[in-house]
Amino acid sequence: MATIVEKVEQYTAKCAELGMTLPGWLLARAAKACGPALFNADAETVAASDTTELETVRDNFVMGKLGLEDAETAMNIVNQVAEEMTDFGSHKYRAVFYARCAELADKVDMLPEVE
């Protein structure tokens, strides 16, 4: 089984390949926020074409973990990230998605610290 460090390396490489710049420390914090979902092939990615899944990301992550209170603003962030990650194809990695949401919401401090 892969480690969080290996997953972060994978995400960093994919971001670099597709021209998305996210710092490794931010990806590591977002990866930690994902918990065991990182190690489940289905849960590791966000299905951006599924409105229900995007609403779940909005409700559980952007509003729940990051603390945004306005549902419309939170959904705008989620939709913007989904659009930015179009080039990722079907592999919109959840940790990358979450890191970018936190960045856009200016809430990176809400992600868990990594030892």
Domains and CATH numbers, the chain: 4-110 (1.10.238.120)
- Asked if 14 and 88 touch (Cβ cutoff 8 Å), the reply is yes
Contact of 27 with 99, CB cutoff 8 Å: yes
pLDDT score of 1 = 60
pLDDT, tens digit (0-9, with 9 covering 90-100), for 64-85 = 999 999 999 999 999 999 999 9
Task: Give the pLDDT score at 90.
Answer: 79
HSE toward the beta carbon, residue 99, CA cutoff 13 A:
23
Q: Count Cβ atoms below 10 Å from residue 22 Cβ, excluding itself.
A: 18
pLDDT in tens, 22-67: 999 999 999 999 999 999 999 999 999 999 999 999 999 999 999 9
Determine the pLDDT at residue 115.
77
Split at pLDDT 50, 70, 90, the class of 91 is confident
**Per-residue buried b or exposed e for 71-85, using 16+ beta carbons within 10 Å of the residue's own CB:** eeebbebbeebbebb
